[in-house]
């Protein structure tokens, strides 16, 4: 998603149950983990937060290779 749509706060809420109204722009890539129960299996999910600014697109696209899934985040008011 584009810069400022809430990707970092979505990740923070899901992995640490935190929300920061003053979060800063992600530079490059950050990630967090959360252990979840899927059926009878315990899964450790590693969730990556990629920068939304255009100048980081070449860097962040390399992190998509090998991904099992993706979540697109956008702001419907913009």
Q: Break the chain into its structural domains and give their ranges.
A: 7-64
Cβ neighbors of 39 (< 8 A, separation 6 or more) are none
Give the pLDDT confidence of 5-25 residue by residue, as tens digits: 788 888 889 899 988 888 777
pLDDT at 62 over 80: no
Give the pLDDT confidence of 11-61 residue by residue, as tens digits: 889 899 988 888 777 777 788 999 999 999 999 998 888 776 666 566 666
User: Is this model's pTM higher than 0.75 or not?
Assistant: no
Residue with tokens 């956008």: 74
CA distance 23 to 6: 9
- Both tokens assigned to 2: 């584009």
């Amino acid at each position: 998603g584009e810069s400022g749509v809430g990707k970092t706060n979505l990740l923070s809420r899901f992995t640490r149950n935190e929300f920061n109204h003053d979060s800063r722009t992600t530079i490059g890539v950050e990630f967090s983990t959360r252990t979840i129960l899927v059926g009878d299996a315990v899964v450790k999910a590693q969730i990556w937060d990629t920068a939304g600014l255009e100048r980081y697109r070449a860097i962040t696209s390399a992190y998509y290779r090998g991904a099992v899934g993706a979540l697109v985040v956008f702001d419907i008011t913009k």
